[in-house]
Structure 1
Amino acid sequence: MTFAVPHNRTAVITIDRPAARNAITPEMASRIEEYWDRIEADDSVWVGIITGTGPVFCAGADLKRMAGEGGGPAGTERGGFAGIADRVRTKPLIAAVNGPAVAGGCEIVLAADLVVAVPRASFGLPEVKRSLVAAAGGLYHTPRALPRNLAMEMALTGDPVSAERAFTHGLVNVLAEEDRLLDEALSLSDRICANAPLAVRESRRVLLEGMALDEHAARSLAAESMSWIRTTEDFAEGPRAFVEKRAPQWSGR
């Protein structure tokens, strides 16, 4: 596992266990949770990216490790699978998918806010092939990210969906060339980081929470969020920068 802040307020978490198809162990899950704790606590970091090394993004949990000595759940109490699938977050997460993302690997992708993927990537929930259930988010996040029947196809057949098909149906935001994956993910992050960070976090929160509300409650949630944003320093900076015809200098306050 590696953690880096390469440039422009973006931190990158890299799953680096290619010989084991980047399968997640309990220790790796704890490390990812620790990395995201650092991202949430660091005011200089506004966006996180998670990616993998080698030909596979993540094959899910390390089943061999779970079945042998030192086994245990490949998750954490707060974060769920891989320390991130169920994590309550305030900052955006981009999944940069370098290859197949299956089982828990697919559930990491589904937990992300945005997805960049190479053409050879694929997304699958093969749990039914092993008499398991995709309980780390696959069965309730997939129908929110994809059309119902495509989500049902993934859940019942266990067969993967190609990156191109996922792009067509909106799960993937950007299809990137093999050698441009991280560059494209960082470019997407740059587009986010050009905006006021508190407004970005509030917009993310209201969008996600609003999906579970009726229109009246969602409207009230958005109004409350806007009332709070009006109290921040950046609320004054946005119009000021527009009038002065310059790029805004966001403080995150």
Structure 2
Amino acid sequence: MNKTIPGAAMAVVIAGALLASASAHAQSKPIQGWQPGQHEEPDPAKRVPQAPQQAPQQAPASQQAQPAPRPPSVVVREQPYAAAQPEPAQREEDRGGFFVGVQGGKGWVYEDVDQSALAVNAGYRWQAGPVSLIGIEVASGRLDSTREGPWRYGKVEYDSIGANARFNFGRNSPVYGLVRAGYWTADDSESGMDVDGGYFGVGLGVDVNRHFNLSLVYTNYVYFEDYYWEGNDFHYDINRADTLMLGAEVRF
């Protein structure tokens, strides 16, 4: 009894193995559909329509590959050449013309004796450069009489003619320097003294505007006194007078 059961079990195992092999063989074999014979008409029910072979579609001529469009050409219009125009040279203002001035201050004819001084002058100047004016002038003035202790000093009157020039310290600077030189003659009404000689002056001024200026001028007057011949020798004494004047001038 004990031997029978193993034999049956062995039989069952072998049968199961055979069935599994057959099933695997059946699954590995492809399932063939029904095909009609060589001369048989296919079953309409089993006819499988074949997909029509479509010819490769061609794009319309308008959509066919076209050469890449050329970028629009940019037309650069040359601007007419404008030559650099030179800047017009600034025209120098002509500051020449007639002038009239008046001055007042102090004068010294006698040593350490102050005398009030007053003068007027007039003339004409020409433009001689960007900052310079050169001209001629005539002047007339006086030193008032005064007393110093017991002594009285008479009034001195003088006239002069000469040249003057002024130079601004830069084209746009209103400040200028002034020089003047020429011949002068004077007389003392009380003593009857009559002298002549030369003068030279320097000053500093400022242009208030085109037609008006102020100036401070120092002038040294040199004159000869007591000149005479003695035999073949000429004798003379040189003296001087000085003025320091603050003046105003009008130009036309």
What is the TM-score normalised by the length of structure 1? 0.21
Question: Higher helix fraction: Structure 1 or Structure 2?
Answer: 1
Q: Which has the larger radius of gyration?
A: 2
- Indicate the structure with greater strand content: 2
